[in-house]
């Protein structure tokens, strides 16, 4: 699970950095302008880097949870069925992975909706159009973090399954030599 999480983290960083620089969603949104009136917005912080760190941290939990869930499930299968082949383990891992992806998507969706509920109420009160909502800086930053987390979870399943299958194959080869 740890190896898969590290691989996915590297992949996520490779995706996040260009996306965050391209999207330019870090910093203060239009909704914050009233609270910021009279304050200096030059605080010496690169908000794009803060957005990158936020996106990485928000996806780490989902990736680690998926990696641990799939690897512990596969470990239990190997414990119960010592003669299982690596290809059968990979197939079982994809079946388990589909169920894990379903719960992870639900968790990410409800987490996004729960954390953005006040923002949605604000959008409704300000009569924002759908286009204005999609172009809002705060909403776009949250949406990017969720999409990247989903990419991380979806890629965690096959990578973790492949690593577990590879380790099983290597274990079988070692046992045959002895």
Taking only the tens place, the pLDDT of each residue in 128-171 is 888 888 878 778 888 888 888 889 889 998 998 899 888 877 77
Question: Residues near 96 by Cβ (< 8 Å), separated by ≥ 6?
Answer: 69, 70, 73, 74
Q: What pLDDT does residue 61 have?
A: 84
Q: What pLDDT does residue 45 have?
A: 75
Pair of tokens at residue 156: 């965690």
Report, as ranges of residue numbers, the positions in the chain whose pLDDT lies below 50: none
Question: Residues near 176 by Cβ (< 8 Å), separated by ≥ 6?
Answer: none
> What is residue 145's three-state secondary structure?
helix
C-alpha 94/C-alpha 56 separation (Å) is: 25
* Domain spans in the chain, listed from the N-terminal domain onward: 2-177
* One-character DSSP codes across 10-63: HHHHHHHHHHHHHH---S--GGGHHHHTTS----S--HHHHHHHHHHHHHHHHH
Q: What pLDDT does residue 108 have?
A: 85
C-alpha 130/C-alpha 114 separation (Å) is: 19
- Cα 132 to its chain centre, rounded Å, is 26
Q: What pLDDT does residue 140 have?
A: 81
Predicted model pTM: 0.74
Q: What pLDDT does residue 159 have?
A: 92
- Work out whether the CA dihedral 77, 81, 85, 91 comes out positive or negative: negative
């Amino acid at each position: 699970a740890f190896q898969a999480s590290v691989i996915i983290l590297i992949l996520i960083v490779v995706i996040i950095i260009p996306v965050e620089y391209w999207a330019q969603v870090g910093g203060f949104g239009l909704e914050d302008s009233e609270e910021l009136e009279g304050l200096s917005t030059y605080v010496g912080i690169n908000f794009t880097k803060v957005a990158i760190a936020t996106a990485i941290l928000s996806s780490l939990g989902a990736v680690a949870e998926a990696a641990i869930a799939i690897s512990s499930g596969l470990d239990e299968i190997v414990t119960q069925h010592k003669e299982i082949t690596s290809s059968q383990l990979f197939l079982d891992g994809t079946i388990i992975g589909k169920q894990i992806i379903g719960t992870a998507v639900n968790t990410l969706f409800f987490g996004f909706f729960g954390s953005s509920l006040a923002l949605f109420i604000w959008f409704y009160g300000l009569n924002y159009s759908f286009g204005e909502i999609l172009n809002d800086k705060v909403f776009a930053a949250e949406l990017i973090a969720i999409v990247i987390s989903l990419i991380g979870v979806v890629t965690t399943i096959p990578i973790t399954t492949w690593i577990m299958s590879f380790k099983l194959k290597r274990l079988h080869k070692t046992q045959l030599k002895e």
